[in-house]
Amino acid sequence: MAAEALELLARVSRLEEPLEELRALRVAVQALPLSALRERAPDIRLGSLFALLNVNDREQVALCVSILERFLQAVDPLYVIQNFREELQKGLFHPDDSVKLLTIAQVGRIVENSHAVREILNNPELLRQIIYCIGGEKIAVAKEAIKSLSRIAQTQDGLEALFASSFLVDLKNVMATSDVVRYRVYELIVEISSVSADSLNYCANSGLISELIEELTGDDVLVRATSIEMVTSLAYTKHGRQYLAQQGIIDKISNIIIGADSDPFSGFYLPGFVKFFGNLAIVDSPQQICEQYPVFMEKVFGMAEGHDPTMIGVAVDTLAILGSNVEGKQVLQKAGSRFEHLLNRIGHQAKNPPAELRLRCLDAISSLLYLPPDQQTEDLLGMTESWFAALSSQPLELFRSISTQPFPDLHCGALRVFTAIANQPWAQKLMLDSPGFVEYIVDRSVEPDKASKDAKYELVKALVNSKTIAEIFGNQYYLRLRAYLHEGPYYVKAVSATAVEGAE
């Protein structure tokens, strides 16, 4: 097979029956190890295979793509760009999507190589064509182009090429293709801006970030909803947050939330704006953000107290993010009885349809109640205990009833609530005092699928790893939990059969 492949490759430029011989070549090349292909790379006329792509025969194109994909895996990216530059340029605009994908995948390999990427920077036409691939109909091609350009911009030369030359005009021309393509370019700009303060400066000086911000504060509510996602991504980095604050963008977003009450279309963009502040609080300082922008907390509580399931879901998700660390929990605690009433509402939503909102409530409860062992002060343990009690008149039974329902997602969601509180002494005492609860934990027969078995195992692990479990549960139950942990999540007890003489 290897000899046949090498012979076919050697004469690929003069194939007499292209389809028949390409079929044989594909089978042979797939059977060859990459090491053998790598050794013969300099001797093979791959340019001839690229040339065979220039036909109106779908099978021939598909065969060539398959062979080239396999072969190019074995070829050094620097060799590819140095020897097949023209072929790559043609491939990026080939009418067949499979050829575009093959070519842009090679560009992706090239930009990951510090030596090969310079060849692209020294080839303006190829770089320009990569930029125009962002506007292609095939989303996979556009995504790969964005990824490649983002990688190119990680060098100083790449930044200057994209933003301090005529290529900036090309980027803006591509943006004019359609709304969808415009947001692909914004995606690229945000990715580049997130790398460093220097990268952000280049993007800001290009004027493209200003254009994104204008869309954020414009009149089109659907555009607002899309652009806030981009701005939220920018806020994940410290230099991005500083830029948004300096430009007054965070204040503008706060003002839009204030004005949302009088906007009948605010439902389209308000969830994104609230999530922006939720993410901002968790990457920065929950207390600082909530004190500086009180409208954010007021809006979250208002949404959670309302009757729109979509808004309730967003509010619950935001509370989960906010309460995922101790500082955020303390901010929520300051809301006093209002937050306790809200917890009761979340507990009520956790047991009533729709199912998707029930699951979000369960995950939020897990996030709010979890305390890392090194942060379990008396005050904080008292706080989580009071929050748990606020969820329902019998919260442990509430989640136990959910965990016995035949819906895997909800079943696992309830188990995650138990896992969140499993390392807290007050919760361990509640579990022990609840009739049959410990037996339920070690009963493997109630877990019908892999996800449930994994979730139960995490609960057992959280209990066993707690410093207080042996003292509170007692030796007998503690040893049963340790045995469960040792046996693993999928253990099945062997059933021995005794042979009886005369039995069938």
User: Judging by beta carbons within 10 Å of its beta carbon (0-12, 13-18, 19+), is residue 135 exposed, middle or buried?
Assistant: buried
Count of CB atoms within 10 A of residue 206's CB? 18
Residue 261 DSSP one-character state: G
Q: How far apart, in Å, are the Cα atoms of 381 and each of 159, 342, 396, 424, 427?
A: 51, 19, 17, 7, 10
Q: At 407, list the tokens.
A: 């819906």
Three-class secondary structure of residue 334 per DSSP: coil
pLDDT digits 0-9 by tens, 387-416: 999 999 999 999 999 988 888 999 999 999
Does a cis peptide bond (omega within 30 degrees of 0) precede residue 309?
no
- Is the distance from CB of 145 to CB of 134 less than 8 angstroms? yes
The reported pLDDT for the residue numbered 281 is: 92
pLDDT digits 0-9 by tens, 333-362: 999 999 999 999 999 999 998 999 999 999
Q: Give the confidence band of 504 by pLDDT, cuts at 50, 70, 90.
A: very low
Single-letter amino acid, residue 113: N
The predicted model gives 103-115 an average pLDDT of 90
C-alpha 60/C-alpha 18 separation (Å) is: 8
C-alpha 424/C-alpha 421 separation (Å) is: 6
Residue 429 has pLDDT above 70, yes or no: yes
C-alpha 290/C-alpha 293 separation (Å) is: 5
User: Judging by beta carbons within 10 Å of its beta carbon (0-12, 13-18, 19+), is residue 455 exposed, middle or buried?
Assistant: buried
Q: Give the confidence band of 70 by pLDDT, cuts at 50, 70, 90.
A: confident
Characterise 248 by phi-psi region: left (phi > 0), alpha (psi -120 to 50), beta (else): left
